[in-house]
Amino acid sequence: MFPAALLVVLTLIAAPAFAQAPYVGAAVGMDVARYDHVEFPGSGDFDASGEAVAFSLSLGTPIGQNWGVELGFVYPSEIERENSQGFPIPLLAAASLAGIGAGIAVPPGGANLTFPVFEASTEVERRNMTLDTVAWFAQSVGSRVDLVYLGGVAFNRVVEEVTFQFNRRPAGLIVPTSTRTVSYDVAPVVGMEARIGLTDHVRLVPGIRLQGVGGTSTHGGWLLRPSAGLAWQF
């Protein structure tokens, strides 16, 4: 029984992919991004995680009966996050800074009185563009269907814009600020997709990829990218 099962597995692995040839493709999908972040108790957190629509283009070619290489470019929309925080300071310290603390009677427990002097909001806009260089292995599972396993390296360009402004503050004390940061990093990428023959040249290609990504305001994270598209095979 075991030798027969092993023979079936080896036959499936060795089954040639159908009609492999150079191809170009286009797809639409999602960026599901999760990053390391810092949480502020009672004030939310500073987190650039989120979801965005992503578009991709790819160019690939076989280099053997079942193997090949691919170059792909992914351009997603921006992930937008907003967080508001209130920053309280001691009431007596505020009165002292204003030069009026000497005439204030301190009630019992007055040292613990606090009030929010200003309220701040942080808006983060982040775009994760990627150039993928992968190798793939195709396994035929039908007369016109291949399962394709991919692995390689992703070159990431992360553009992050952070706007930090104060909604409630003493006039003239603090001005709104914003920053724009561009960072580059290299990370592994793995994935799986199906190539389904619709005609002799057109393939329907649903798939999913997982890759690492660095960050500007965070220490790093990962991107999950499900997609569906069409490929033209020459």
Going by the DSSP 8-state scheme, the letter that residue 4 receives in this structure is H
pLDDT at 186: 94
> Which of 4, 17, 32 is closest to 227 using CA atoms?
32
pLDDT at 85: 59
Which residues, given as ranges, of the chain have pLDDT below 50? Answer: 1-14, 89-106, 109-116, 217
Phi-psi region of 23 (alpha: psi -120 to 50; beta: other; left: phi over 0): beta
Ordered DSSP codes for 76-120: EPPEEEEEEEEEEEEHHHHHHHTT-GGG----TTGGG-EEEEEEE
pLDDT at 163: 84
Residue 14: which H helix or E strand, with range? Answer: helix 2-14
pLDDT at 122: 78
Q: What is the pTM of this model?
A: 0.72
pLDDT at 81: 82
Q: Domains plus CATH for the chain?
A: 11-85+121-233 (2.40.160.20)
pLDDT at 162: 84
Q: Are 84 and 156 in contact (CB under 8 A)?
A: no
Residues in the chain: 234
Q: What are phi and psi of 220, to 5 degrees?
A: 145, 180
Q: What are phi and psi of 43, to 5 degrees?
A: -130, 15
pLDDT at 192: 97
**196, β-bridge pairs:** 145, 204
